[in-house]
Structure 1
C-alpha cells in the first residue's frame, strides 16, 4: 500500500485537533513555522495541508493576518434560470433569503474599455471596440461566494439611462430588464461551464487558496434579432457555492 502523502497526514491531524476543540471557530492557528516544527515536516507541507482544509471550508486564510478556523458555512446556491430573470430580475437575493442569509454585491464599472480579442469574438464586435466592463463580487452575509466580470458593447447603451449596469434609475435590475428599458428584447442565453483552478487574483478576492477548484461559466445574452448584448465570466468556487440549472417548460 502506498504511503499517504505528508500533507494529507498533516491535514488530518489539524482537522482532528479542530474536531477536539483545541481550536474553535474564529481561533487563529499557530504560524506555519511553528506547526511545521511541531509536526516534524517542512513549511511547504503545512501550507499544502492548510490549503486543502481551506478548500474544504475547515479553515480560512486572511491576507496579512494568518490562518483561522472557519465559522461553519452553508454553501450558497446559484440558480441559473433565464425565465426567473425575465419575470423578477436577478434571483441572487431571493436565493440567499431562502437560506436565511443576506445576499448583496459590490461592483466596479469602467466605461469605454477596448474589447480584448476573446470578448470581441463572444460579442460579435471588432477587437478594440468600446465596452462597458463591470466587475462583481457577490456576497452572502458580507462574505464573498462568487465573482463575475461583465462586458456590454458601448454602442448599444451609449446615451441611455442604462449605460451603467449599477448606476442610474435602473441600477441592479439585471441585463434582461435593463435592455427592455431601451427596447431590446433578450430571449436567449448561452452558458459554457468548465472546471479550472482559481487564479491568484480570484483566490485573493474569494478568500480561498490559489489553485482551488472553481467552475468558470462563460455566459452570453442574445436579443431576439441575434445580437449579443452582454457576455460575462463567472467564477464559482466549489467549496462556497453550488450551481443549479433550472429550465421552464413550455405549456
Structure 2
C-alpha cells in the first residue's frame, strides 16, 4: 500500500488516500464534498477524476448533484435562469402591505362613522322628539309566576294615570322623548327602564320597544332593578 496526496477535482480540497501497489483503478469518496472519485494509475502518477458524469466546464457541481453524494446534504438554493423575463411591476410585498393598510384605514373610518351616527341618535333624536306628542303606551308587568295587579307607574319620577285592560297589562299617555319609567308593586322591588318614545301614529298597535314596554319584578325588598328591553 502507498499513500497518495491529491486534489479533489470537484471541490479542489487537498487530501490523501492509501492505494494498493497495483495498476488497478480504485474508487473512493471525497471527505469534503462526498463526491465519488476514481483513481487511475498512470505509471508513477495517479490521475484522479470524478466517477460520475463530469460537470459542465467552468462550473462546480452542488453537493447534492456531485457523484456519490450522500447523507443529509442541504439542497442548493433555487435560482432564476438568466434568460427568464424579469418582473417589471411594483414589488408584490409592498402591494400586500398597502392593501392591508387600506383595509385597516377603512375599518377605522367605518367605526368612526358608526360612533358619529350613534352619537347623533343618542343626542339629537331624543331632543327632536321631546314633547312633540302625547303618545299612548302599554306596559306589561309580571313577576316570576305571572301577571301582577295593583301596580303603579312613575314617569320621570311623576305618578302616571294607569288604565288596566287585562291582568298585568296597563295603558297610559306620556310625552314623546327620552323617558324614565319606574313600576312599583307591593311586596316587590321596583323595576326601572329608560326608553325613547318616538312621535308615532296614534292608532299604532302595541309594538315592543316602541310603545309597548315589559317589566319583570322581583319579590322582596331592595334597590330598583333595571329592566332589559328587547
TM-score (norm 1): 0.21
Structure 1 or 2: more helix by fraction: 1
Larger Rg: 2
Q: Which has the higher contact order (CA 8 A, sep 6+)?
A: 1
